[in-house]
Homo-oligomer: A and B are copies of this chain.
Amino acid sequence: MHDFGHLLIVLVAVLVGTKLLGALAQRAGQPAVLGELVAGVLLGGSLLGLLDPSEAVIQSLSELGVLILLFEIGLHTDLRSLAKVGGTATTVGAVGVLLPFLLGYGAASMLGVERLPAIVCGAALTATSIGISARVLADLGELESTEGQVVLGAAVLDDVVGLIILSVVSGLAAGGAVTALGIARTTAVAIGFVVAALVIGGLVAPPAFRQVDRFQRTGDVLGPIALAFALVLAWLAEHSGSAMIIGAFAAGLVLHGTPQRKAIEKSITTLGHYIVPVFFAVVGASVDVRSLAHGPILLIGGTLIVVGVAGKVAAGYAPWWFRGRKLLVGVAMVPRGEVGLIFAQLGLTTGVLSVELFSALALMVMVTTFLAPPAIGRLSAGRGRSHPTPSSGVAELVTGVQPE
């Protein structure tokens, strides 16, 4: 009873902190997720000491939060949209994964970081936050522009590739040796799981959810059953050597094409408003603010920021045949947001990253997430501003904005 009373206070602090700082961030023209992270930093062990990321219930809610977020990202991802935006987006996406990875791995190695944590640093740099990129472009009325479409397509590709990288890194972190064969095997398992989930799920889920939809007379049975489906795939992914969030993401991809998608997305998005911030707050609380002031951390963090920005901006110039605003495309790929944090968090919980390296990565995520929106705004100047029209529940979960 006493423990539950304490849990109530922690939940109140997390809800009020993330929502108010999120709204404050929005007022300052920043994505809400930034405010949620800052709330976590304030509540965490290095400052107020109220939010303990290792507490069982908080940890479970946080892990549920990230599964819900990835499920939502999957629900919103249309694999065919990749094909439509074609070669340009694919090139930007592929270069935007490869270049930051190599630059990040190389820079970390040169600074004396060991092989496995250096790989995690490189992997974290590959991320692009589709939620933040989409939201910022929508705010600027750029979502329907050619550049906006390229960024969206590339960000989707980044998500898929990033999750495979994540699975590889998870496998490595779990003790696998860093061999070409091991990487190939882990990649095969990750791809194999997604393919199996998409093929089997694609056959089983649509008729099953049609039945659920018919079976329920009225009311919200679809949302909870869809969540259960995502949790089952997350469990299966974990037990087949892949990562839980890949399972949740695959569940979203499978349900993307069903007629029930809209109802599911609406319900899951509302649930996410309560639980996803716990994840961001826990990530923020895991940052040791005091360690940021150490010289080596600032050095590594600063270096990762430089190569992280450079790698993504260069990716915007990779499709040489593309006649649009390449700098805009590249800068729009810069914010790492929640995906970068997932990498960093995974590295921390598996023990691959020290708290200092984790803090350096969190610094990189915060700075890239923070810098990109005003930069995109400058590059886009001259185009008419339209009303915010966030394109998805993902953007809503990340930014706290509801689609109109």
Q: A404 to B56, alpha carbons, bound, how many Å? A: 39
Mask for A55-81, Cβ within 8 A of B = 1, else 0?
011011001000000000000000000
User: Given known contacts A219-B401, A235-B9, is B225 in contact with A15 (CB within 8 Å)?
Assistant: yes
Whether B401 contacts A227 by the Cβ 8 Å rule is: no
Q: Which residues of B contact A224 (CB under 8 A)?
A: 15, 18-19, 273-274, 277
Residue in contact with A56 in the complex, picked from B57, B63, B388, CB distance below 8 Å = B57
Asked if A375 CB lies within 8 Å of chain B CBs, one says no
Q: A401 to B221, alpha carbons, bound, how many Å? A: 9
Q: A92 to B232, alpha carbons, bound, how many Å? A: 48
Minimum CB distance partner of A388 in chain B: B218
Residue in contact with A231 in the complex, picked from B8, B217, B401, CB distance below 8 Å = B8
Task: State the Cβ distance, A348 to closest chain B Cβ, in Å.
Answer: 13
Q: Which residues of B contact A235 (CB under 8 A)?
A: 5, 8-9, 12
Minimum CB distance partner of A350 in chain B: B1
Range of interface residues on A (Cβ < 8 Å): 35 or more
Q: A3 to B63, alpha carbons, bound, how many Å? A: 12
| A residues 68-98 touching B (CB-CB < 8 Å) | none
Q: A56 to B4, alpha carbons, bound, how many Å? A: 9
Q: A221 to B277, alpha carbons, bound, how many Å? A: 11
Whether B270 contacts A220 by the Cβ 8 Å rule is: yes
Task: State the Cβ distance, A215 to closest chain B Cβ, in Å.
Answer: 5
Whether A11 contacts B217 by the Cβ 8 Å rule is: no
Task: State the Cβ distance, A59 to closest chain B Cβ, in Å.
Answer: 8
Q: A5 to B270, alpha carbons, bound, how many Å? A: 24
Q: Which residues of B contact A396 (CB under 8 A)?
A: 219
Task: State the Cβ distance, A7 to closest chain B Cβ, in Å.
Answer: 6
Whether A227 contacts B274 by the Cβ 8 Å rule is: yes
Task: State the Cβ distance, A277 to closest chain B Cβ, in Å.
Answer: 8
Task: State the Cβ distance, A316 to closest chain B Cβ, in Å.
Answer: 29
Q: Which residues of B contact A203 (CB under 8 A)?
A: none
Q: Which residues of B contact A238 (CB under 8 A)?
A: 1, 5
Mask for A266-288, Cβ within 8 A of B = 1, else 0?
01001101100100000000000
User: Given known contacts A60-B57, A63-B4, A220-B402, is B225 in contact with A16 (CB within 8 Å)?
Assistant: yes
Q: Which residues of B contact A4 (CB under 8 A)?
A: 59-60, 63
Q: Which residues of B contact A402 (CB under 8 A)?
A: 218-220
Mask for A2-31, Cβ within 8 A of B = 1, else 0?
011101110110011011101100110000
- What are 20 inter-chain pairs, A to B, with CB distance below 8 A? A5-B235, A7-B60, A8-B231, A8-B232, A11-B231, A12-B232, A15-B227, A16-B228, A19-B228, A23-B217, A27-B217, A57-B57, A218-B402, A218-B404, A219-B399, A219-B400, A224-B273, A267-B273, A270-B270, A270-B271
Shortest 3 CB-CB contacts between residues of A and residues of B: A270-B270, A15-B228, A219-B400
What 15 new A-B contacts, CB under 8 Å, besides A26-B217, A219-B399? A1-B238, A5-B239, A8-B231, A11-B231, A12-B228, A19-B225, A20-B215, A22-B221, A26-B216, A27-B215, A218-B401, A219-B396, A220-B270, A220-B400, A271-B271
